[in-house]
Amino acid sequence: MKDNKKASKTNKQKKHKSITEVLFTFYAFILFTLGVLVVFFTEEFDLLDLRGDTGKISYIFLKFIGSFELLASFSIFSLRKLNGRVIYYTVVGLIIAGFINLYLLSSLNEYITLPSVYFIFQAIVQLSFFFVLFDQAKRK
């Protein structure tokens, strides 16, 4: 009889993570890694070797982008366990920002050199955010 009580207590204590928690943790880890690489190893991480004053200015802008990625990673990681309207509005905001990023990638395609893997990754992230949005709408 006591064994059944222990088994039922351990089953109740296990909580399954939602798809939102898993994806937000994954994206926070990716953004944190990229942010650290861009902030501390800017010249090694850059695809182009820029020299002179314009190169220094470009590296400063890259460091700003890296610090934004660090901030975004901490924000996404702190929002991973929330439910309701806060997470719903956060996902909608991330979807809008992702579409702006996709638009800029496609419109500036001839001026910047980025591998198509980045574009594909951004599209996959957008699709996963739609999946998270539908998961949150289903939980309401």
Per-residue pLDDT of the chain (140 residues; tens, 9 = 90+): 555 555 555 555 567 777 888 888 998 898 899 889 888 887 776 666 667 777 777 777 778 878 888 888 888 888 888 777 777 888 888 888 888 877 877 776 676 666 577 778 888 888 888 888 887 777 76
Where do the structural domains in the chain lie, given as residue ranges?
18-80, 82-140
Q: What is the reported pTM? A: 0.67
Tokens 């200015």: give the residue. 57
The alpha-carbon radius of gyration of the chain (Å, integer) is 20
- DSSP type of residue 112: S
Contact (Cβ atoms closer than 8 angstroms) between residue 126 and residue 95: yes
What is the C-alpha to C-alpha distance for residues 102 and 99, in angstroms, rounded to an integer?
5
